[in-house]
Structure 1
Amino acid sequence: IGTDNENLTNATINYNNALTPKPTPIPITKATITKTETDITYDFDVATENTYEDCYVYVAVYDENGILCAINRVPLETTGNTSVSVDKNDNAKKAKVFVFSSTLQPIITSEEFPLI
């Protein structure tokens, strides 16, 4: 700020301090996850103890260096189990299954599966 800017340097700064409200926390629930596979896919069946609306099951597949090879997302079923598949990849070494709300709050503790 140069000279002759007293109006700027003496200005009172007003701003709206209202923060975006945080979403209501969703309790973590337990899940039973089973992995099966076909010749072309890894298949995961997810059964949660509690279900919530607007949640999604993610399966992420990683190579030996932890680099993402594939991912798929499906809505969490509010009744019954949720099934999700990802295509097999020659570089795949592990898969992680996550369940998140639409605001990306975790619903379960993620579970990791070896793909050897």
Structure 2
Amino acid sequence: MTETAPPSLAPFTVEELLRQSAPALPLALKKRTLNTCVSRTQARQRRHDRLHWQFTWIMAGLLALQSLTLFMVDAQNTRLVSGDSTPPPYAPVTIAEVTAMWHQRSRQLASLMESKK
């Protein structure tokens, strides 16, 4: 003879069983359970609100940073087009110039490390 597993309880059946057993609980336990549920819900809501405001401030900061960057680039481009300014430091350079700067920095770093010994 094979044993069959007991049928699983549907969610509404479990809820009904819980509601039926609730009146048998002492009043103090009911209040404590309700207070615990309420305090957890309030704590969850506070965390949610705090995260919401933090995310809002982060997005506002990113928007301000993006606006500032765009303003600076626009102002620099305007000066370059009008011919009132020198090219920005990130202007295109040749590979030879980059290699020369890299070798110069390497020599400076090596001399600093030797002087510390």
Larger radius of gyration: 2
Q: Which has the higher helix share?
A: 2
Give the TM-score normalised by structure 2. Answer: 0.16
More strand per residue: 1
**Which structure exhibits the higher relative contact order, with contacts defined as CA atoms closer than 8 Å and separated by 6 or more residues?**
1
Q: Give me the TM-score of the superposition, normalised by structure 1.
A: 0.16
